[in-house]
Amino acid sequence: MTVQKLFPVLFLQLALAFLLAGLTNAGGLQLGFYRRACPDAELIVHQTLYRYISRDRTLAAPLLRMHFHDCFIRGCDGSVLLSSTKKNQAEKDAIPNQTLRGFNVIDAVKSALEKKCPGVVSCSDILALVARDAVLMIGGPHWDVPTGRRDGRVSIANEALFNLPSPFANITVLKQQFSATGLSVKDLAVLSGGHTIGIGHCTLISNRLYNFTGKGDTDPSLDPRYAAQLKKKCKPGNSNTVVEMDPGSFKSFDEDYYTIVAKRRGLFQSDSALLDDAETRDYVRFQSRTQGSTFAQDFGESMVKMGYIGVLTGKQGEIRKRCAFLQNFTQGKMAIQKLFVVCFLQLVFAFLLAGLTNAGGLQLGFYRRACPDAELIVHQTLYRYISRDRTLAAPLLRMHFHDCFIRGCDGSVLLSSTKKNQAEKDAIPNQTLRGFNVIDAVKSALEKKCPGVVSCSDILALVARDAVLMIGGPHWDVPTGRRDGRVSIANEALFNLPSPFANITVLKQQFSTGGHTIGIGHCTLISNRLYNFTGKGDTDPSLDPRYAAQLKKKCKPGNSNTVVEMDPGSFKSFDEDYYTIVAKRRGLFQSDSALLDDAETRDYVRFQSRTQGSTFAQDFGESMVKMGYIGVLTGKQGEIRKRCAVVN
């Protein structure tokens, strides 16, 4: 019935394409807008931006602010990027925008995109993607960015001067300005949280400190002790000094902003104004009381909502070649022509699907008839490698984990990149994976015995189980019958794999950790924890000081080659020591330490530490089986690859 229903739908799509042929294409934003015209667009944005943020984390705040300032004036159309001309002063030169920086970063991203996909990706989309990735790179949340914006042709300084929310604004004005753009009072409270990163100039708070009512007094809504601290930094008439918006963590994206505002320590009047309205005050106090329990998700949702303000799509606006200059640009009817082709191919594909079924499903002993020795061959081949190098167990377990979290357990992590596509294997989080040669050896042995029968995705699941078993871990039954996927996209691994820098809120959204009882980590992944956690040359206070001192002996600043054990003393053995280490505040990664920041995960850590892992082996096996069901392809979906690195 599903396939039969598909025919009339596709017929109507095709008919609609003909009707649209003579009409102006209004278009709209969508996820993956560039998947055909520039499939690596988001990856290029991320990689180019990383070169800058990795050297200077303070760039994240102005890049986020740049997107905000763009959307509030004429909508998210990249008008903030245009340079002034002899006949027009552009937004960029308006007083509120004169402290923006990072335009060179946007230009570098645009240049990289133009080399790969000339005339395709708009500057307004670049701003939206850069804002998201900049937040992500300093520990903030990830959100999906709908794209398809086109660039505006008008930029007027006066509009920015009068219409941007001001740091001096009261709550009434702020609510009016947000409402005028279609944003809610909650959005106002949420997006104000962007002030958790960045700095402010003393000139913007001088009046609050020294002459609030014209009588040489201080703003009474400002905590007196905090005002005294600010006065030490910001002397009267000082126009050059800057102060942190979120003292102590102004380079890290977290929920501390709300705790500060709740204590009447918001830097700007517009921050303090959040306490003057019932709805915004309740939001501030809730995030402060719950350690920002919903802030990460709320911020992503409000950013997406803001990203829709006044967008130009379809044939509106243009695609600039250089973001600072207008580009008179017209496009033909390529979009409609592509629509014809897509609908036609969909219709053909629907006919091919008729009569096929995708019932299938995972089951124990799936290969008992077609390849009865499959699991034995996997075990024997793997043993030849693990017996020589026990450290292979950790990356092989991690490989299965990374595979399942992207598109499900379909072996997509094994596919190699092509000229037209960068695969998951080459995404930054996967560049330290190893053991692909082991998977290839297992596949080769299976192909000799049972050609075209055992999938690469099942090999990953079986190898992960046996690798853990061979270094002293538990055994669990692995249901098989997975088939291999045909799609592997680096971007998806880049954005969706749980990060070693993630906090507990993000981890709970994404999932799991206990496999860190084996394996190693590179010094580059903990350098910030050891030497510059809040941007002041300090160490992460959640890390045990004695352990931090030990790590510093191994990981000198700038050291990118050295590795350290995740579970010191038993990193080649699968045991419960990981939980004892985490309980002692000696988890190597921020994501390990984050387990102590949530009641449920903290209780589990302490229970396993106290009981010598009494239930860990069983729990781990059960969770691995559960993970192995994520997004599986079965029946006639996907394929059975002959070589794991190449689609048939």
Q: Express each pLDDT in 67-116 by its tens digit.
A: 999 999 999 999 999 999 988 899 999 888 988 999 999 999 999 999 99
The CA distance from 527 to 549, in Å, is 12
Question: Is residue 417 scored above 60 in pLDDT?
Answer: yes
Stretch(es) of the chain classified as CATH 1.10.420.10:
171-305
Burial class from Cβ neighbours inside 10 Å (0-12, 13-18, 19+) for residue 58 reads middle
Rounded to 5 degrees, φ, ψ at 88 are -150, 130
248 appears as a binding residue in the annotation? no
Architecture of domain 374-519+566-627 in this structure = Orthogonal Bundle (1.10)
256 appears as a binding residue in the annotation? no
Tell me whether residue 69 is one of the annotated catalytic residues. yes
Task: Identify the residue with better confidence: 457 or 516.
Answer: 457
Question: Is residue 350 scored above 50 in pLDDT?
Answer: no
Confidence of residue 568 (pLDDT cuts 50, 70, 90): low
- For residue 199, the model assigns a pLDDT of 85
89, 96 Cβ separation under 8 angstroms: no
What 3-state DSSP class applies to 152? Answer: coil
Task: Identify the residue with better confidence: 17 or 175.
Answer: 175
Mean pLDDT is highest, among 303-307, 403-407, 531-535, for: 303-307
Span 555-584, mean pLDDT? 71
112, 188 Cβ separation under 8 angstroms: no
pLDDT in tens, 216-258: 889 999 999 999 999 999 998 777 888 887 777 667 788 889 9
244, 126 Cβ separation under 8 angstroms: no
468, amino acid identity: V
CATH superfamily of 171-305: Peroxidase, domain 2 (1.10.420.10)
Rounded to 5 degrees, φ, ψ at 507 are -60, -40
- For residue 16, the model assigns a pLDDT of 39
Span 12-21, mean pLDDT? 39
151 appears as a binding residue in the annotation? no
Q: Out of 69, 142, 402, 516, which one is annotated catalytic?
A: 69
53, 134 Cβ separation under 8 angstroms: yes
Confidence of residue 280 (pLDDT cuts 50, 70, 90): very high
447 appears as a binding residue in the annotation? no
Rounded to 5 degrees, φ, ψ at 312 are -100, 135
- For residue 200, the model assigns a pLDDT of 86
70 appears as a binding residue in the annotation? yes
**Cβ neighbours, 10 Å, residue 611:** 12
144 appears as a binding residue in the annotation? no
pLDDT in tens, 359-394: 348 999 999 999 998 988 998 899 889 888 888 988
- For residue 17, the model assigns a pLDDT of 39
**For residue 188, what are the β-bridge partners?**
none
The CA distance from 211 to 438, in Å, is 71
Stretch(es) of the chain classified as CATH 1.10.520.10:
374-519+566-627
- The first and second tokens of residue 210, run together, are 């020294």
Burial class from Cβ neighbours inside 10 Å (0-12, 13-18, 19+) for residue 550 reads middle
Task: Identify the residue with better confidence: 99 or 25.
Answer: 99
- For residue 126, the model assigns a pLDDT of 98
Kindly give the interhelix angle for 393-404 and 456-470, rounded to the nearest 10 degrees: 140
